[in-house]
Amino acid sequence: MKHRNLMALAATGIITATAFSLNGAPGKAAQGSDGVAALIAEVPGVAAGSLNTEVDKLFSEGEFAETRALLIMRGGEIVVERYAPGYDRNTRFISWSMAKSVTAVLIGLMVADGRLALDAPAPVADWQRPGDPRGAITLRHLLQMSSGLQHTESGDPPYDSDEVRMLFLDGRDDMAAYATSQPLEAEPGSKFEYSTNTSVILSDIITRQLTGSKDPEVRRQAMLDYMRGRLLEPLGITSMVPEFDAAGTMIGGSIIQANARDWGRFGEFLRNKGSIAGNQFLPRGWVDFMLTSSPNDPAYGGHIWLNKPRPAGRGKILYPDLLPGDVFACQGHLGQYVIVSPSQRLTLVRLGKTQDDVQAPVKAQIGKIAALFPKG
């Protein structure tokens, strides 16, 4: 695939060539209030002054701290790119739960290859023993966070959380074993329960389709080879690095590192329904599945958040009263976002470190910036 040179900003090293055919839109280097240069491009239908002002707020006003990177693409062109002091285009940022959507894409590739089936019993050996009710769990249930497994994402105190126990305590050496060993608390398919443990189960399922080895290094390499060959290299993603536990299972629910532009490429890939320059690398039907509301929460699809109202008692995730209904997002702890709006031809990436209990202003400001862009 031909690489195209993008406009460069020498002051920050912003924008180099990309295999995803992203072009830099006509623009200029703007000076932020923190003295750091930023790319703010001219976008038809968007007031440049308003865009620059609202972007600057994310980096300069205390209620939006700590924003470390912002990248906006419109129609495949980078129109905004800015980094806080100490960060740049080469900095890898942790995904936290944005990793879940990467895992869902890898599952989709496995389904397309005929190695897995969406509505067949999930291939977890312990669940297939006679009389085990977990044998009814399918990949669809896992992807839609409706497995029925007893997974508590947030605990009080924190060590009561199955996520914390799996990642940092008694489950950390073999995360998939910990996650799959939990009993059912509900009938599979009947209850929405957001769960990082579920994504690790999916990572383990992928790995076991690639190798029968229990050697951690063999397992790591098998997943890396598949991920690079089927996803990262076709998209021109060069910075993405997944992390693995001691058993060689990718931590596919929370720990994948990549720079801002590569997170943007991933969002663009989904915006374009799994195609790159007219070549279909992931079946459109799989992206459609990911972006279809799950039965137990309209705002959640297949390991990705949707811009839909939620049932009573559940907090609003995106912007159903502000942005178009086709908006979807990968979202992670401490304010990691890849927000995609197909009808606006928009992909917005915000990366940083904002505690969850003070994140509302940041989320609102991101929505305000996205709303500056017209449809079409």
Consecutive 10-residue runs of the chain (376 residues): their mean pLDDT? 27 34 53 65 93 96 94 97 97 98 98 98 97 98 98 82 92 97 98 97 98 98 98 98 98 98 98 95 98 98 97 92 98 97 98 94 97 96
For residues 183 and 211, state if they share a domain: yes
- 17, part of any domain: yes
CA distance 280 to 269: 10
For residues 48 and 148, state if they share a domain: no
For residues 159 and 218, state if they share a domain: yes
Supply 247's token pair. Answer: 């058993």
For residues 84 and 119, state if they share a domain: no
Specify the pTM: 0.91
- 100, part of any domain: yes
- 312, part of any domain: no
Domain boundary among 256, 291, 313: 256
For residues 188 and 129, state if they share a domain: yes
For residues 235 and 375, state if they share a domain: no
- 324, part of any domain: no
For residues 106 and 250, state if they share a domain: yes
Question: Domain of 225: which CATH number?
Answer: 3.40.710.10
- 7, part of any domain: yes
- Beta carbons of 205 and 123 less than 8 angstroms apart: yes
For residues 132 and 184, state if they share a domain: yes
For position 84, what pLDDT does the model report? 97
Q: Which residue is associated with the tokens 């949707």?
A: 306
Residue 243 CA to chain centroid, in angstroms?
Answer: 15
Collapsing DSSP to helix, strand or coil, 311 comes out as coil
Domain boundary among 256, 284, 300: 256
- Beta carbons of 75 and 175 less than 8 angstroms apart: no
For position 24, what pLDDT does the model report? 57
Region of 256 on the Ramachandran plot (φ > 0 left; ψ -120 to 50 alpha; else beta): beta
- Beta carbons of 156 and 111 less than 8 angstroms apart: no
Supply 329's token pair. Answer: 């997002």
CA distance 200 to 228: 19
For residues 72 and 1, state if they share a domain: yes
Which residues, including other chains, have CB under 8 Å from residue 220's CB and lie 6 or more apart? 244, 248, 250
Residue 270 CA to chain centroid, in angstroms?
Answer: 10
For position 29, what pLDDT does the model report? 52
Range of the domain at 361: 1-91+336-376
CA distance 184 to 150: 5
- Beta carbons of 33 and 59 less than 8 angstroms apart: yes
Based on the structure, what is the number of domains in the chain? 2
- 248, part of any domain: yes
For residues 78 and 123, state if they share a domain: no
- 365, part of any domain: yes
Closest alpha carbon to 142 in 96, 203, 95, 211? 203
Helices (H) then strands (E): counts for the chain: 11, 14
- 360, part of any domain: yes
For residues 33 and 78, state if they share a domain: yes
**Can you list the positions of beta strands (E) in 282-362?**
305-306, 328-332, 336-341, 346-352
The torsion angle over the Cα atoms of residues 91, 93, 98 and 104, rounded to 10 degrees, is 60
Which residues, including other chains, have CB under 8 Å from residue 272's CB and lie 6 or more apart? none
For residues 108 and 12, state if they share a domain: no
Beta bridge partners of 9: 14
Domain boundary among 226, 256, 286: 256
Supply 312's token pair. Answer: 């009573």
Closest alpha carbon to 226 in 118, 180, 234, 19? 234
